[in-house]
Amino acid sequence: MRAFIASSMGVTCAAALVLPLAAPAGAAVDTPAHPAAAGSVPARASEPAHVPGSTQSLALNPMSSPPVRATGEPAAAEQGLPERDVQPFSLVGVVWDDVDTELHGTAQVRTRATGTDRWSQWQDLETHNAEHSADAGTEERESGAARGSTAPLWVGDSDGVEVRVRPEAPATRDTAPVPLPAGLHLELVDPGKDPRQVTGTDRAEAADTGAAGAGRTPATVLPALNRTETEEAAGLAPAAKPYIGPRPRLITRKGWGADEKLRESGFAYTKSVKAAFIHHSATGNNYTCSQAPSVLRGIYRYHVKSSGWRDIGYNFAVDKCGNIYEGRAGGVTKAVMGAHTLGFNTNTMGIAVLGTFSKSNPPAAAVTAVEKLTAWKLGLFGANPKGKVTLTSGGSNKYKKGKKVKLNVISGHRDGFATECPGARLYKKLGTARTASARLQGR
pTM for this prediction: 0.84
Strand, coil or helix: 232: helix
224 shares its domain with 357: yes
170 shares its domain with 208: no
pLDDT of residue 309: 93
Burial class (CB in 10 A: 0-12, 13-18, 19+), 207: middle
User: In the chain, how many domains are there?
Assistant: 2
How far apart, in whole angstroms, are the C-alpha atoms of residue 391 and residue 349?
13
143 shares its domain with 289: no
pLDDT of residue 70: 52
Closest CA to 222 of 235, 212, 233: 233
213 shares its domain with 341: yes
Q: Verify cis geometry, omega within 30 degrees of 0, for the bond prior to 422.
A: yes
179 shares its domain with 222: no
Closest CA to 219 of 249, 194, 195, 254: 254
167 shares its domain with 83: yes
Cβ atoms of residues 256 and 192 within 8 Å: no
284 shares its domain with 380: yes
Cβ neighbours around 234 below 10 Å, total: 16
255 shares its domain with 362: yes
3-state class percentages of the chain: helix first, strand second, coil last, to nearest 5: 15, 25, 60
Contacts of 6 (CB under 8 A, 6+ apart): 266, 267, 268, 269, 337
Which parts of 236-312 are beta strand (E)? Answer: 250-251, 275-280
Contacts of 272 (CB under 8 A, 6+ apart): 335, 347, 381
179 shares its domain with 209: no
Query: What does the radius of gyration of the chain's CA atoms come to, in whole angstroms?
Result: 22
How far apart, in whole angstroms, are the C-alpha atoms of residue 411 and residue 350?
10
Last residue of a domain, one of 162, 190, 218: 190
329 shares its domain with 423: yes
Answer yes or no: is 197 within a domain.
no
Are β-strands 79-96 and 153-167 bridged in parallel, bridged antiparallel, or unpaired? antiparallel
359 shares its domain with 432: yes
Last residue of a domain, one of 190, 224, 239: 190
Q: Which residues of 325-363 are buried (b: 16+ CB within 10 A; e: fewer)?
A: bbbbbbbbbbbbbbbbbbbbbbbbbbbbbbbbbeeeebb
How far apart, in whole angstroms, are the C-alpha atoms of residue 301 and residue 312?
8
Question: DSSP alpha helices (H): ranges in 64-159?
Answer: 139-142
At 163, give phi and psi (nearest 5°).
-140, 145
How far apart, in whole angstroms, are the C-alpha atoms of residue 443 and residue 435?
9
pLDDT in tens, the chain (443 residues): 444 333 333 333 333 323 333 345 456 777 544 333 333 333 333 345 666 799 999 999 998 765 555 555 555 689 999 999 999 999 999 999 998 888 989 999 999 999 999 999 999 999 865 556 676 667 777 777 889 999 999 999 999 999 999 998 877 777 777 889 999 999 999 999 875 554 444 444 444 444 444 445 678 999 999 988 998 888 776 666 679 999 999 999 999 999 999 999 999 999 999 999 999 999 999 999 999 999 999 999 999 999 999 999 999 999 999 999 999 999 999 999 999 998 899 999 999 999 999 999 999 999 999 999 999 999 999 999 999 999 998 888 888 899 999 999 999 999 998 888 999 999 999 999 999 999 999 99
At 135, give phi and psi (nearest 5°).
-75, 150
Answer yes or no: is 312 within a domain.
yes
Burial class (CB in 10 A: 0-12, 13-18, 19+), 259: middle
108 shares its domain with 217: no
Query: Which residue range forms the structural domain that includes residue 134?
Result: 5-190
Task: Give 143-207 as a DSSP string.
Answer: SS---EEPPPEEEEEEEEEEEEEEEPPPSSTTSPPPPPPTT-EEEEEE--SPPPP-----GGG-S
